[in-house]
Structure 1
């Protein structure tokens, strides 16, 4: 049940960010952006603000909501209203990676024929860029062609792996491997190395782009269902009275949920 006790200063984590100050850390799907843009045009509001992290020199990295942000830019929005992760609430942020559940196919053989990659068992000398789970007892690691590779090269290979299957197969994202039976599904799971917030900041500052749908950022105290008018985001400089009106509305209607909830996303 919702409770009326709202964490102090939670609404102060919301901020208007000019679109020219926004950076992305992952690639995006054009079809997904088109679907979101159509929904935004029909609804006239943005329900859930993207999640952003201040990185440097007035720049903000979109941690969650890259497709929403891109769709808003295509609609001509001058600003994005985002929930910002700052040094004060950084401890509330958790960065994880999705597991990709994909059908078995010739994409695996094509990867094995790539001169940029090596396949093998667990190695103490180097970290794999991905791992394939064929069953509980059968896994295979994917490595770069050298023991030491740069971050840029690692991300390039990460994209190579994901693009090998995402272009032709539907990718299901999994939070964990619990209770997964691969032998009966003719499927394989692709897992990726764990990352942290410093990794995300470096990716944003260096303008690198990870594959879509790999990182998963979870903020305790996420603000959702705000119904932000699209027309307000199209203004070059939102007026103080516009902001005061929104704050007043949200303060009266905001509810804090202590228990886990299920949210239907686009």
Structure 2
């Protein structure tokens, strides 16, 4: 068993040293703020990776870190993972929009600067997305597929330009439609995924790469919410840390010592257990 499996790398770091790569969801942040105030407990630590400048790239837990900032907590407990490890994978979500009346997305996207909207076939979609030759693909009720191409045409879209257009794509429906995040191993799965939905639109997105995410975070650029998902083996769940010490007038050094003693106690009491098999968690 690897050392990381014996004990996760849990740290207490300055909240301001954590770099977001996506925008937190305000309503979820506020719900978390109220829950933390009421319970005074952190159930699962956010997950981060160390950046070259010593800051921490936030991989999972944007709303938790945002809640700590909202509460004025200067320190946040995190789990640190090695982002260079091939087992830590960056995947993506697609967006299924569920509304009785479809939003005029085709019109909105045709008006985006630097975008040429044109029909594509289902057979083209995987190729276009994998090579990032489109900003996104809009699917309307499984009958019409529209590619958002760069204008003028480019062999591959620059990541900064991609994020600029992506913000416009998502803002056209964000807050205006009930949204479900979906993942597809194969775009042929899409009809089965949405067959029970009478009226729907789907936005399909190319994947980002880990190196690009590091670059964007270092430059202070954030992508829209709900597009990235990380596959992280050995996630720490259920630490149920009492946050009273973070709110206390203790010095940062004393708070760090308190947190380290808490983690050491978990280990000595045999409460850190590693499960190799996949599990279903139903506690949130």
Per the normalisation by structure 1, the TM-score is 0.87
Cα gap change, 1:171 to 1:265, in 2 (>3 Å): farther
Cα gap change, 1:245 to 1:128, in 2 (>3 Å): same
Superimposed CA distance per residue, residues 168-197 of structure 1 (whole angstroms, 9 cap, x where no aligned partner): 112101122632235852112211111221
- After TM superposition, list the pairs within 5 Å mapping 1:131-146 onto structure 2: 131-134=137-140, 138-146=144-152
Superimposed CA distance per residue, residues 54-110 of structure 1 (whole angstroms, 9 cap, x where no aligned partner): 1122111111101100101211211111111226x7222011010110133223322
Gaps of 5+ in 1: 1-5
Q: 1:107 and 1:98 mapped to 2: Cα distance?
A: 19
Is residue 144–residue 154 contact of structure 1 (8 Å, CA) maintained in 2?
no
Q: Equivalent residue of 1:152, what SS?
A: helix
Q: 2:97 and 2:114 mapped to 1: Cα distance?
A: 22
Match of 1:194 among 207, 212, 216: 207
**Count of aligned pairs:** 260
Gaps of 5+ in 2: none
Is residue 45–residue 230 contact of structure 1 (8 Å, CA) maintained in 2?
yes
- Work out whether 1:127 is the aligned partner of 2:133: yes
Higher strand share: 1
Is residue 45–residue 229 contact of structure 1 (8 Å, CA) maintained in 2?
yes
Q: 1:172 and 1:49 mapped to 2: Cα distance?
A: 24
Q: 1:157 and 1:264 mapped to 2: Cα distance?
A: 36
The Cα shift of 1:147 comes to 3.0
Aligned-residue RMSD, C-alpha: 2.5
Q: 1:241 and 1:81 mapped to 2: Cα distance?
A: 12
Q: Equivalent residue of 1:56, what SS?
A: coil
Greater shift, 101-110 or 164-173, is seen at: 101-110
Superimposed CA distance per residue, residues 209-243 of structure 1 (whole angstroms, 9 cap, x where no aligned partner): 10001000110111111112222344533242441
- Work out whether 1:170 is the aligned partner of 2:178: yes
